[in-house]
Amino acid sequence: MITAGIIGGSGYTGGELIRILLQHQKVDINFIYSTTRAGKKVSSAHPDLLGVTDLKFTGDVNLAVDVVFLCLGHGNSTAFLKKHSFLSNTKIIDLSNDFRLHSDAVLEGKQFIYGLPELNKEVIKKANYIANPGCFATAIQLALLPLAKLNLLSSDVHVNAVTGSTGAGISPTDTSHFSWRNNNVSWYKPFTHQHLGEINESLQSFKNNIGEVYFLPNRGNFTRGILATAYTKYDKSLTEAIEIYKDFYKDALFTQISEEEISLKQVVNTNQCHIHLHKHNDTLLVTSAIDNLLKGASGQAVQNMNLMFEFDEGMGLNLKAGVY
């Protein structure tokens, strides 16, 4: 057994992380840190855990746990780690965007590795510090990496992706409350979304010619999940494309290539990414679907933890979608 600490456990990603780790065969949750809910039961913030755990939030941090997950707002992980010095053998998995880019990956001697298992599995296994990918970034990278590897992304790529309201975090905003979000769809941050940086760095890691990625994110009128569509010029056959993707993901536990059209419900509440390919004339359309809170956040963080501690990669992540 290993001991785990969770920093910032009252939000959506913290709640999903707690839910997964409570069922994990090799993990004991040592503490769940919260500045706003210290002393209160975890179920006060996450009512789905009522009767599942009697754990309480705490305002104290145990610096000697085996692994700590940072579920803090973007920009806050750096400040937290500067204030709290964990033991040198404590592994850190950060779910914010603080350390995802190459230029931000080192903090006081700690080298953070980009935690996309389908790209960096062998490096993750040896890492002590992980920068968990963003949710949009996960869905889009998994849709495009096989093409990038074989130098098939030299043309521009157009990406349109829609995310549920949980992607905006637990704090209410003008565009996340029910009366605005329900029966409504809108775009935001057109072509400038913060996940583009990590997407481009991963695509360029193969040292091939990569066209411009034009990304238009959308707010959907549903709770969770991301459906991304990406299309680009492609001069090979659809059969070849399917084989390229199947070969790239042949050892990927949670990324599946579907020969049938996919929909969002089939991955929500799971750590899966489902991908479908479609060709129209000389254009290849790649559709990917993930749960933004699981494969796009907490589930992928546990997947990374499993790799770092040499557990079975899928341990604790045998989750089933509710498609009906």
d(CA 56, CA 40): 5
Q: Which helix (H) or strand (E) holds 278?
A: strand 273-280
Q: Are 314 and 252 in contact (CB under 8 A)?
A: no
DSSP-assigned letter for residue 264 = G
Q: With CA atoms as reference, report the closest residue to 281 among 228, 236, 242.
A: 236
d(CA 324, CA 312): 30
- Catalytic residue (one of 18, 29, 135, 230): 135
Distances (CA, A) of 181 to 13, 163, 170, 184, 186: 20, 12, 14, 5, 9
Query: Which residues, 6 or more positions from 55, have their beta carbon under 8 angstroms from its beta carbon?
Result: 18, 29, 32, 41, 42
Q: Are 105 and 112 in contact (CB under 8 A)?
A: yes
DSSP-assigned letter for residue 153 = -
Does residue 71 have an active-site annotation? no
Query: Which residues, 6 or more positions from 164, have their beta carbon under 8 angstroms from its beta carbon?
Result: 220, 222, 223, 224, 225, 226, 292
Q: Which pairing describes strands 91-94 and 110-111: parallel, antiparallel, or unpaired?
A: unpaired
Q: Are 29 and 310 in contact (CB under 8 A)?
A: no
d(CA 195, CA 69): 20
The residues assigned a catalytic role are 135
